[in-house]
């Protein structure tokens, strides 16, 4: 009786790694790239803009939400994104010493830009 239980345990253990191997193979084909949403703070560099991304963090002691912000340098091909634009940035390969992100889409143009076009 003990032998049959031991055999069933061994077969279950063998089946689990095969399922994990299939999952990792599927995830290896398409790597997950993080996307963040932020406001362009500076566009003075060539093909690069600085994007400020804000997030809310809850205090463990008081339960109050505070705003934390990070600045990311993002690749801005064609200098499309301007200061004040709301943009979506996506993770990319390292393009320079500090640049690891790229502008994916411009979600909303700055209000000042719309006035100058008219």
What confidence tens digit (pLDDT) does each residue in 58-91 have?
A: 999 999 999 999 999 999 999 999 999 999 999 9
* CB-based contact 33:90 (threshold 8 Å): yes
Q: What's the confidence (pLDDT) of residue 116?
A: 42
Q: What's the confidence (pLDDT) of residue 61?
A: 95
Residue 47 to residues 43, 67, 68, 77, Cα–Cα distance (Å): 8, 29, 26, 5
* Contact residues for 109 (Cβ-Cβ < 8 A; gap 6+): 82, 85
Pick the CATH number of 35-117 from 2.40.50.140, 3.90.480.20, 2.40.30.260, 3.40.50.300: 2.40.50.140
Residue 5 to residues 9, 17, 59, Cα–Cα distance (Å): 6, 20, 50
Instruction: With a cut of 50, list the residues of the chain below it in pLDDT.
Output: 114-118
Q: How far apart are CA 69 and CA 56, in angstroms?
A: 9
Q: What's the confidence (pLDDT) of residue 105?
A: 95
* CB-based contact 68:36 (threshold 8 Å): no
Q: What's the confidence (pLDDT) of residue 36?
A: 96
Q: Tell me 85's DSSP state.
A: -
Local structure of 26: helix, strand or coil: helix
Q: What's the confidence (pLDDT) of residue 118?
A: 41
């Amino acid at each position: 009786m003990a032998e049959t239980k031991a055999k069933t345990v061994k077969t279950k253990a063998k089946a689990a790694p095969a399922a994990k191997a299939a999952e990792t193979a599927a995830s290896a084909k398409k790597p997950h790239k993080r996307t963040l949403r932020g406001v362009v703070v500076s566009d003075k560099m060539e093909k690069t803009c600085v994007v400020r991304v804000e997030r809310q963090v809850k205090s463990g002691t008081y339960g109050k939400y505070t705003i934390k912000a990070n600045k990311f340098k993002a690749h801005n091909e064609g200098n499309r994104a301007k200061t004040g634009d709301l943009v979506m940035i996506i993770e990319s390969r390292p393009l320079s010493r500090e640049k690891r992100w790229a502008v994916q889409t411009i979600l909303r143009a700055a209000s000042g830009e719309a006035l100058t076009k008219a």
